Structure 1
Amino acid sequence: MVKADWKIVKIVTAIATKIWAASLGTLLTCVILYCFYGSLISFSIFLFAGLYILYHAQDNLLYHPDLPSNSRVYIPVPAMHNLPYETVNIRTSDNATLHAFFIKQNDDKSTFVPTIVYFHGNAGNMGHRLQNVWGIYYNLNCNILMVEYRGYGLSTGSPSEKGLCMDGRAAVDYLYTRHDLDHQKIILFGRSLGGAVAIDVAADLEYSGKIMALMVENTFTSIPDMAVELVHPNVKYLPNVFYKNKYYSIDKVDRIRVPVLFITGLADNLVPPRMMQTLHMKCGSTRKRLLEFTGGSHNDTWVIDGYYQGIATFLVECHDVVHPLQTPPKRNHWPEIHEV
């Protein structure tokens, strides 16, 4: 809980630093208007200006492509972890260019194994998730497409709810242009914010027909629900129109029909595990499973024993496409990565 509180303090401090000039200008304008026009008009202007600033500051609250520092410049590559890969650029429907890594199994079996589209959380870049991807590659024998959202890493544009959801669709479309993988075995995976992106794509009728399954880990029901958790319970009375980013996964999940695996760490002190339980309960798929790990926190559920075995079991239940687990090679020490 202390860690989560500290993250909130850092986020709020960063936002205050970025918008202090606008706030000071607004206050000065209101003082001048008060002197000339009276309190009612100046208060109204101050209120609307404050709401406007807070509305547009929400992106700074949610998206952190520059944490840790240099995340927009330095992207760790899969070769650092003995993973074969190619760098690809994906063009979205609104002409953003997404930086991505395609990590492929050996050519003789890449067309027979599943391909996972990996959507990361709201901080850093895709290279910070290579530890988890290493485990997926060697334990589950899957191809992996790692996607860097617009405004993250070397991708162009600026992050937004609409934009990230477009990025998710562009990633699936890109896989359909390749002939070295099985298009019937495409699986979406998203952690935290990435789970909201994956749910949005899977709930789309057109794209649900393009994927075999969906897996989400430690994701939330909606941004307004998270605001209640992180800010104050009374925030629930704030009209939804004041939220720039909503990510209403709770309203979308009932439209999903493909098999879904919900992975939750019961020690998650950022996204309450009950949100994952609610998403599982509301999911419209008849083939859904909730995989819970005692001791798994928001960022490290993937290191808990049984994690990859649980995913492998789910994929076998979806379709007999996962080869038996192999013994992965020894790995070097990796630094700890924290999402927010």
Structure 2
Amino acid sequence: MGTATSSMAAKFAFFPPNPPSYNITVNEASGKMRFSDVNYQRDNVDVLKLSTKRGNEIVAMYVKNPSASLTVLYSHGNAADIGQMYHIFTELSVHLNVNLMGYDYSGYGQSSGKPSEQDTYADIEAANKCLEEMYGIKQEDTILYGQSVGSGPALELAIRLPHLRAVILHSPILSGLRVMYPVKRTLWFDIYKNIDKIPLVDCPVLVIHGTEDEVVNFSHGKQLWELCKEKYEPLWLKGGNHCDLELYPEYLRHLRKFISAIEKLQRPRDAPDLKPKDQTEQASNNVTEQSKEKSRPSIDYREKGRPSFGHREKSRLSTDSRDKARASIDKREKSRKSIDRSFKARNSTDHSERARNSFDRLGDMVRSVGLCNVDCLKQTAAEV
């Protein structure tokens, strides 16, 4: 039973498109590689071949965005390769304002070897190493994106990067075996044991899942989100299935909101504390106030928020000045909220047309390539 189940799990995990959707050609003059079967190729895309520690050579593509401060490392789902994902990757780079690297697992597309769980771990490690060494991208500026089966290698790498900026899980799985059987505990022959890894991730995690997913039940995404240390507002797409989430306007809108929040979150490089600045200061103040006079909460808050200025003015604060300080803090808070609302409104106005167009383009892309991550799952389970 164990051998048969393990074999089934392996069959579930890997469905590389056959034949691959692309070939690679080399420009004789520049020596630059490109995909020969992709229309409307862009000059800001590098096509790469990377060696893995397991002896395979995988194909990757890197989309450069000169105004980006963050980089997404995208692990795609099943029944797809980066030739099919090319236009989706380039659109996400533009509308999320990020650099983006996508890669093919061993045995997918024009990558050598045969796909296996351990090979996908080596594949994403090679892609991340390329980001660091070739493009100078630090883990503090990296977001891992795992779609369906891609959630496996994404979480495996996430638990080994202590200063990773964030993780996005798109229709993720609890584990390979749990997609097919409602097992209550992790078995040794299972693959992609995400349920055991997600509590070890120290950075913010966004989970996206369709409520009507017929391949990977919605409960997988929901349980993974509940187990996160640093939960970000999830996106549960009502009526969404396994392969159509990009068609929903909320998909791109929520991703943009998440990226914006992560950009504003200045995380210390030597500590895993990822609370927003206001929450961190408030928590510190709550502890401090227990040992200070109750009549001076506003002064304590001001001194915590602006230590150098607070120390100089501390000796000159009187009852009247404390009242003014409190009023000033309230005014700053209202001003900050006003600025935030203004920024959101302006951002919405500036990007509404682009967002609407991007939804249409992404929808057309998804429909055109017929992306599905594990379409053959039920048939495979019946055959074994």
TM over 0.5: yes
Of the candidates 247, 251, 258, which is equivalent to residue 307 of structure 1? 251
- Is structure 2 residue 10 aligned with structure 1 residue 59? yes
Structure 2 residue aligned with 1:280: 225
Tell me by how many angstroms 1:183 deviates: 5.5
- Is structure 2 residue 238 aligned with structure 1 residue 294? yes
SS of structure 1 residue aligned to 2:206: strand
Give distance in 1, aligned partners of 2:8 and 2:227.
Answer: 31
Structure 2 residue aligned with 1:105: 65
| 1:256–1:283 CA contact under 8 A, matched in 2 | yes
- Is structure 2 residue 88 aligned with structure 1 residue 141? no
What RMSD, in angstroms, separates the aligned Cα atoms of the two structures? 3.0
Tell me by how many angstroms 1:74 deviates: 4.7
Tell me by how many angstroms 1:82 deviates: 4.7
SS of structure 2 residue aligned to 1:289: coil
Give distance in 2, aligned partners of 1:87 and 1:311.
Answer: 25
Structure 2 letter corresponding to 1:80: N
Give distance in 1, aligned partners of 2:40 and 2:211.
Answer: 29
Cα 1:237–1:147 shift into 2, 3 Å: same
Q: Give 5+ residue unaligned stretches, structure 1.
A: 1-49
Structure 2 letter corresponding to 1:141: N
Tell me by how many angstroms 1:77 deviates: 6.6
Structure 2 residue aligned with 1:126: 82
SS of structure 2 residue aligned to 1:166: helix
Structure 2 residue aligned with 1:44: none
Give distance in 2, aligned partners of 1:78 and 1:254.
Answer: 41
**1:78-118: CA deviation from partner (whole Å, max 9, x where unpaired):** 96245431111122222321101111124xx3xx4311111
Give distance in 2, aligned partners of 1:97 and 1:82.
Answer: 23
Q: Give 5+ residue unaligned stretches, structure 2.
A: 25-34, 266-342, 375-384
| 1:88–1:101 CA contact under 8 A, matched in 2 | yes
**1:30-67: CA deviation from partner (whole Å, max 9, x where unpaired):** xxxxxxxxxxxxxxxxxxxx8656644643332111x3
Give distance in 2, aligned partners of 1:219 and 1:57.
Answer: 19
- Is structure 2 residue 220 aligned with structure 1 residue 220? no
Tell me by how many angstroms 1:134 deviates: 3.6
Give distance in 2, aligned partners of 1:153 and 1:218.
Answer: 22
Structure 1 residue aligned with 2:301: none
Aligned pairs, number:
272
Structure 2 letter corresponding to 1:192: S
SS of structure 2 residue aligned to 1:319: helix
Residue pairs, 1:219-258, within 5 angstroms: 219-228=172-181, 236=183, 240-241=187-188, 243=189, 245-258=190-203
- Is structure 2 residue 127 aligned with structure 1 residue 171? yes
**1:242-290: CA deviation from partner (whole Å, max 9, x where unpaired):** x3x52110000000011111011112111111110100001122x4331
- Is structure 2 residue 210 aligned with structure 1 residue 265? yes
SS of structure 2 residue aligned to 1:100: strand
| 1:218–1:265 CA contact under 8 A, matched in 2 | yes
Give distance in 1, aligned partners of 2:90 and 2:118.
Answer: 30
Give distance in 2, aligned partners of 1:77 and 1:189.
Answer: 26
SS of structure 1 residue aligned to 2:154: helix
TM-score by length of 2: 0.63
Give distance in 2, aligned partners of 1:260 and 1:247.
Answer: 18
| 2:171–2:210 CA contact under 8 A, matched in 1 | yes
Give distance in 2, aligned partners of 1:147 and 1:167.
Answer: 8
| 2:21–2:83 CA contact under 8 A, matched in 1 | no
Of the candidates 137, 150, 162, which is equivalent to residue 208 of structure 1? 162
SS of structure 2 residue aligned to 1:178: helix
Q: Identity of aligned pairs, percent?
A: 22
Of the candidates 51, 56, 67, which is equivalent to residue 91 of structure 1? 51
Structure 1 residue aligned with 2:327: none
Give distance in 1, aligned partners of 2:232 and 2:142.
Answer: 17
| 2:165–2:204 CA contact under 8 A, matched in 1 | yes
Of the candidates 371, 376, 380, which is equivalent to residue 338 of structure 1? 371
**1:155-182: CA deviation from partner (whole Å, max 9, x where unpaired):** 1121111111121222111100134656
Q: Which of the pair has more CA radius of gyration?
A: 2
| 2:173–2:220 CA contact under 8 A, matched in 1 | yes
SS of structure 2 residue aligned to 1:208: coil
Structure 1 residue aligned with 2:39: 80
| 1:97–1:150 CA contact under 8 A, matched in 2 | yes
Give distance in 2, aligned partners of 1:238 and 1:259.
Answer: 26
Structure 2 letter corresponding to 1:208: P
TM-score by length of 1: 0.71
| 2:174–2:220 CA contact under 8 A, matched in 1 | yes
